Amino acid sequence: MATEITMPKLSDTMTEGRLVSWKKSVGEKVSRGDIIAEVETDKANMELEAFVSGVLLETRVKPGDMAQVGTVIAVVGEAGEQAQPLETEAAQPPPDKEKPPPDTEKPKPPRAPEEPAAAAMEAEEAPPVAGRAATGETEKASPMVRRLARERGIDLKLVKESGQDGRILKEDLELFLKGKPVQGQVREPEKTGLPETPTEPEPVPEAEPRPVTSGEARPLSRMRAAIARTVSRSWREIPHFAVTVAIDMGEAEEIRRELKGSGISVSVNDLIVKAAATALGKFPQVNNSFAGEGITVNAGINIGLAVSLDEGLVVPVLKGCGGLSVKEIAARSRELVGRAREGKVSEAELSGGTFTISNLGMFGVAEFMAVILPPQGAILAIGAIRDDVVVKEGRVVAGRVMRATLSADHRLVDGAYAAGFLGELKRALENPATMLL
């Protein structure tokens, strides 16, 4: 019996998704767990797994199209089985044009009333890209890359790809703008119009940006709209307060150098995650959530890592931190953050967080307060490590100081308790050898 595959709800804020590409073709065998499609949500690009085995009988949503959560996007069944037609098809008059071949895609279900207007708006604002629909560029470039190409008036057919399966990466676009071929590959002059042996390649001029009218209102992207809803809810519902502590990071930096010398790659942020997990174990109220008139006790320590993307922010979750070594945290977080930046994180990797760390130290930010991510009860904001004076054994000496700010839900945590958490964080980071035992 044929099984309908619907657009899943891949995040708590998702109401619709864009079908980026199909990874299986109609008539191709599908096994349970196979990746059959890539879907763009309001948080990231995610891979859609098949939950049944069989043959892909039909796809009902084309690459690049939007679909509401719950909409049937494909049908999987036995070879030769006929997919059940859409209910709306019987009520519609037969089209005037010639009936399409049986193996082509059937019309997608009707959208909600507001969607055609939104699609028209997008079509009006986006500069035309030659052959985009015909050449399948939606399948070889992420939505972010396509958007950047539209903004700069670049035809993606002229960009040499370096990603897996022929995908165009953001780096390829940047190299194209600089007039340089991708490393290890030569762009063909007849396709790009560039001279064959340039001594000093001339940068391709960027398209003139669309003039901005004062007071103009522009629609939010799906990711930015989701962020707006989340932070508005957080600030409206959670009574925030913040506590800051200065931490001498000299020993932590020295430990990191020693580990690197022995072939173990560990970042300062990995040490911070380990120290935070240690402190959460001793001050578990910071790891809990407020729920109505009660408290949700979170037994596991699952730390979210705020990752900045060009189009917004995602928070993949490193789970089970309480039982992980520094080396394990380093390996898992490196893989997790890498997938988040590539837009390949799964729904499970974006959910279940009990505490979040936001680190802006790499941008030179000395100190800041972060907004709590509901339904969590706290978030840790990390600033840059800077040269400063510290007192050691009664002597004033030069030190490397980092400021950490805990934003906490006052319904869960009081000031003294928050200070105790930061005190344990400080103790662990100023004595990093204890975290390696």
Helix residue ranges, H only, 4-113: 87-91
Do residues 333 and 278 touch, judged by C-beta distance below 8 A? no
Pairing of strands 378-392, 289-291: unpaired
From CA 278, how far away is CA 256, in angstroms rounded? 18
Buried-state track 177-214, b at ≥16 Cβ within 10 A, e below 16:
bebebbeeeebeeeebebeeeeeeeeebeeeeeeeeee
Per the residue annotation, which of 332, 400, 410, 427 is the catalytic one? 410
For helices 326-342 and 268-282, the axis angle rounded to 10 degrees is 110
Burial class (CB in 10 A: 0-12, 13-18, 19+), 146: buried
From CA 334, how far away is CA 337, in angstroms rounded? 5
Known catalytic membership, residue 410: yes
Token pair of 79 as six digits: 């070879």
Q: At residue 341, what are phi and psi to the nearest 5 degrees?
A: -70, -25
Strand partners, 403: 246
End-to-end CA distance of the chain: 56
Pairing of strands 307-309, 378-392: unpaired
From CA 209, how far away is CA 127, in angstroms rounded? 11
* Residues annotated as part of the active site: 410
